[in-house]
Structure 1
Amino acid sequence: MAEKDSKVAHDGAGHRARLRQKLADSGGESLHDHELIEYLLALAIPRRDTKPLAKALLREFGGIGRLMAADWAQIARVPGMGDTSIAAIKIVQATALRMLRNEVAAQPVLASWQALLDYLRADMAYLTVERVRVLHLNSRNMLIRDDHMGDGSVDQAAIYTREVIKRAIDLGSAALILVHNHPSGSPEPSRQDIDVTRQIIDAGKRLGIGVHDHIIIGTQGHVSLRAKGLL
């Protein structure tokens, strides 16, 4: 039995060495999704064969994007996942989002639109509930606050005009970009999305606060209400 355990450990070490070499050679391009998660989990739980667990996670959440977006409690429900391994996944997500957010904050938002979309898609596209955020900009269109206004149900999150405008006044915002996601995957705006946006635009005009856009994020892409001529 000891000899068999030793062989399993040796095989596992050899497999991880091969993954490590593929990572070194290609920067990860040659690794499958399950191999990326497998190697990440191996760093957190090194004495375990993490391939079955990696595949179980991707199967449970439907892909690497939804896995990274899942919250701590959701991941913890998968057998074999403890705090250390969950932390490994969440720290990767947090690092990626920090990099993307810093890129957005480094220059005027309207001049870095693709960077903004990349950040919003990474943060919101795979969420299973609706999330509302408001981006507050100064007079030079630099991001001064990325406000997470709240989460809702699978098909609705409330955007309250009074709360958005009050927050803008408190921050001294010159302009806003409204953002929310559609867990259904389709980013097409609802009638309510359009109506609420116009209410916030009207309220902001009286105070000299502009609304540049309302962006809706989904796994199928994004929609800009301004680009669609709906503002």
Structure 2
Amino acid sequence: MAKPSFPTDEKNLLRGTGPQGHRMRMRHRVLSNGAEGLADYEVLEMLLYYSIPRRDTKPLAKALLHRFGSLAAVFAAPGPELRAAGVTDQALLLVKFPPVVAERLALAEERLRPILGSWDQLCAYLSAAMTSAVPGQFRLLYLDNRNRLLADEPVDDFASTAPIFRRALALQAVALIGIQKTLSGLNSAAAPLRLFARRLEGETPRLSMRLHDVVVVSDRRAPLSLRQKGLF
């Protein structure tokens, strides 16, 4: 990706001293290389200097981190304590926004990628996700290393596992959960489902994956775990 270009006057500022030159160099650094490499005090410094235009904000940023102990603690600190530490009302508005943004991003991520690391979490997901599923359809849940859902997709053919593992590798999944919806519980799906579960169970370790479970769901009964029943 091409590096951002800067007008001549900005290039002069990059070579200058004082707060303006320092800020321009910080801006150039972030635009050129991203913000990931910034130290905590630099992140806070940049937030503060947008609301404190004619002052070096590095000393204030370092003082806040020293006083409260961490960047997260600065963001969570009560307004009166931040004011007492030298944060202006205008700067306080900026300091209070990152926790709100982070929380909302986390909630959005949780809705998009629910964690399915326990039986209760899985049942809660299935109660919502499988209401409109087609009876007889087999689905696979692909999970990451934190048991977050990466994809919930139908499997139309039990003849080959190759498409399943290609998809799992593409998603960087490390675990699978199979789901079959039936009209009358396990009896109507038992034989082919158990055979396919055994096949997946035998093949997943070769790709450093794991089959967590295969679950049968129906509108009339609670979800049934084939693993808990010892059926594969």
TM-score computed with the length of structure 2 as normaliser: 0.46
Whose Rg is larger? 2
Bigger RCO of structures 1 and 2 (CA < 8 A, at least 6 apart): 1
TM-score computed with the length of structure 1 as normaliser: 0.46
